[in-house]
Structure 1
Amino acid sequence: MFADLTAKTLDIIRLLFPKVQKIGILTSNNPVHPAMAQTATKAAEALGISVQRFIAPDPEDLEKAFIDMKAADCEVVYVLADPPRDALPSIALKYRLPTVYQIDTYPDRGGLMAYGPDLKALFRLAANYVDRILKGAKPADLPVEQPTKFAFVINLRTAKALGLTVPEQVLLMADRVID
């Protein structure tokens, strides 16, 4: 599933930044991030995009990660899913690095854009599992389900602040546009 998510995200990045040459991948100390970063790196490199991984284990490390990404000439930042870090969008804007998130709440906080599983749909699915368990179902008997609904959100105020013009094609793809 992550490979498909990454491929779609890279397609969107290519539409908005057709000449992008280098992407910074921002991770935390989440144990699944190394494998996710490797998948994203392979997919980007197949498109001729160079990738460098930057790790910010704690919120206090975000500023340094963006300083390092700027120094490494990253043109776009791809943030792997993690619990929301409120400071991320403002730090990205401060360093003028367009940032793409996997969590769809970031554009509401000033992030440029997000493409990933619809969190509300995931929470409804989780509630359904809890309900079934409380009614006597054994967790081991319940099927593992992958997300089936994804959301693409773009924040035009942030795009304008970064001096970006969002192509009509990208706007038409969006599930939600923040003016």
Structure 2
Amino acid sequence: MKRRVLIAAVCGAVLWCLGARAQPAKVWRIGFLRAARPPQRELDAFLQALSDKGFIQARNFVLVEQWGDGNVSRLPELAAELVNKKVDIVVTEGTILVRAVAAASSTVPIVTASAADPFMGGLIKNLSRPGGNVTGFASMERDISGKVFEIIKEMVPGLQRIAVLSARSIWGLFAPGQDQAAKSLGVEYSFVEMQRPEEVGSAMREALARGAQGIVIRGSPFFSSTQRRLIIDSAAEHRLPTIYERRDDAEQGGLVSYAPDIQDQYRATAEYVVRILGGASPGELPIQQPTKFDLIINLKTARALGLNVSPALLASASEVIE
């Protein structure tokens, strides 16, 4: 009798172990929301960093993508759709997108790869311990306005007037820093609204009509690849020296770009995703500031515009495109 009980117990244990092994591994659903599809190199940096941590796409996670067309008014709708797809976490970029997802869910963890406002419009009270379901990385866009204006002023002799091209919905994020930068550098600047692709040419013409000698592009995450290409081409057509936020824009013919290394921040974002899916609370992970900035100068474009870039500025560049 005891022998039969022992055998039954052993068999039961074996069957339980086999059943446990047969249980499928967790497949995480990582949501990715942006106003426009990210440049491929940024997406690749994010996915590679996940892979380095053992998160392999289509094996133990799926990427649930939600790309907008640059239309900011659609963001609440896109955020709600993503949350309704039962994602385990949402990765995004930009303060407005963070707020859209936070409005759709107060429980789904949100990690932003970059945000001009580190306090996310009041969602975060403390950078070291943000609390709630939001964390990620700031871009310091407000704080680097002075450097952006300084670079374009140094590249354009006698520059006195700057036009800042941006979507109206995000203008308020940059205005305070730009007001201070313009005052300290003794230049004037004006805001020119640009949202849809068909508005690029008219925006450039408006900038010229206002006497702009240089252009600053703000809010790149909200511009589609089509818009960004049109901006570069239009700047060349109107011979307007322009500074961008994405290194891709300088590599594709834009004059110069200056901003935090967004690829580096997407890699860091992947690390936060892994930690949160491993059980860490987003509210306990500090909002981090960028540590690496890229200055990319397209010397070929500078020559086409008749600009002589100073040796000091060239020496400070992360990359010079010949």
TM-score normalised to structure 1 length: 0.92
| Deviation sequence 1:41-68 (CA, Å, 0-9, x none) | 3311332101111010122211110010
How many Å separate the matches in 1 of 2:176 and 2:166?
A: 11
Task: Look up the SS of the partner of 1:4 in the other structure.
Answer: coil
Equivalenced residues, count: 178
Is the contact between residue 23 and residue 78 of structure 1 (CA under 8 Å) also seen in structure 2? yes
Identity of aligned residues (%): 35
| Deviation sequence 1:118-176 (CA, Å, 0-9, x none) | 01111111111111112111222211112111100000111111111111111101000
Per the alignment, residue 127 of structure 1 pairs with: 270
Please show how residues 138-149 of structure 1 align to structure 2 within 5 Å. 138-149=281-292
Task: Look up the SS of the partner of 1:86 in the other structure.
Answer: helix
Residue 36 of structure 1 deviates from its aligned partner by 0.2
Is the contact between residue 28 and residue 82 of structure 1 (CA under 8 Å) also seen in structure 2? no
Per the alignment, residue 93 of structure 1 pairs with: 236
Per the alignment, residue 42 of structure 1 pairs with: 180
Residue 35 of structure 1 deviates from its aligned partner by 3.1
Per the alignment, residue 10 of structure 1 pairs with: 149
Per the alignment, residue 302 of structure 2 pairs with: 159
Greater mean alpha carbon deviation, residues 87-96 or residues 2-11: 2-11
Greater mean alpha carbon deviation, residues 44-53 or residues 106-115: 44-53
| Deviation sequence 1:15-35 (CA, Å, 0-9, x none) | 222411100011114x33223
TM-score normalised to structure 2 length: 0.53
How many Å separate the matches in 1 of 2:251 and 2:230?
A: 13
Per the alignment, residue 259 of structure 2 pairs with: 116
Match of 2:216 among 70, 74, 78: 78
Per the alignment, residue 161 of structure 2 pairs with: 22
Is the contact between residue 142 and residue 173 of structure 2 (CA under 8 Å) also seen in structure 1? no
Is the contact between residue 81 and residue 103 of structure 1 (CA under 8 Å) also seen in structure 2? no
Gaps of 5+ in 2: 1-139
Task: Look up the SS of the partner of 2:247 in the other structure.
Answer: coil
1:55 matched to 2:198? The reply is no
How many Å separate the matches in 2 of 1:103 and 1:53?
A: 20
Is the contact between residue 247 and residue 258 of structure 2 (CA under 8 Å) also seen in structure 1? yes
Task: Look up the SS of the partner of 2:239 in the other structure.
Answer: coil
Match of 1:67 among 205, 209, 214: 205
How many Å separate the matches in 1 of 2:312 and 2:241?
A: 18
Residue 74 of structure 1 deviates from its aligned partner by 0.1
Is the contact between residue 167 and residue 219 of structure 2 (CA under 8 Å) also seen in structure 1? no
Amino acid at match of 2:258: Y
Per the alignment, residue 150 of structure 1 pairs with: 293
Is the contact between residue 28 and residue 58 of structure 1 (CA under 8 Å) also seen in structure 2? no
Is the contact between residue 163 and residue 190 of structure 2 (CA under 8 Å) also seen in structure 1? yes
Gaps of 5+ in 1: none
How many Å separate the matches in 2 of 1:4 and 1:42?
A: 10
